[in-house]
Amino acid sequence: MILLRIDKMGRTAVQKPYPMEQLRRGGRNKVIPLGDKLRDLRNERNLSQAQLAKRVGVTSSTVALYETGDRLPSLPRLIALSRSLGVTTDYLLGVSRQKDCFLDIAGLTQKQIESLEAIIENYREQF
């Protein structure tokens, strides 16, 4: 796989991705701090690896691999993990320190969603 990188000046350069051995040290993924956060959140919620695995639709050994950093979840699994643990995907990936900056709108009608969006926009305009 080859990546195309564009710098601030608009110039493009071909960049090879890092070999996995550079991304990992001692078998653990150091680029994305998912494993430690995942384990900590699971323990905070008193969940076993098997219980979390059942919620997410994977095996307990897969959760163990996520926690050790030997494997990264796919995007749908990452979303399922974040929903099961009540945090954002950004928090799991280390992009944000804020755990709960999301609103679950599953099961709401389009009209209800639009009403919530209007309320949120109203608050943004006030503050």
pLDDT in tens, 55-93: 999 999 999 999 988 888 999 999 999 989 988 888 888
Contact 48, 56 (CB under 8 A): no
Architecture of domain 27-126: Orthogonal Bundle (1.10)
Average pLDDT over residues 40-60: 94
Report the first-to-last Cα separation within the chain, whole angstroms.
46
Burial class (CB in 10 A: 0-12, 13-18, 19+), 42: buried
Q: Based on DSSP, count helices (H) and strands (E) in the chain, helices before strands.
A: 7, 4
Average pLDDT over residues 36-59: 94
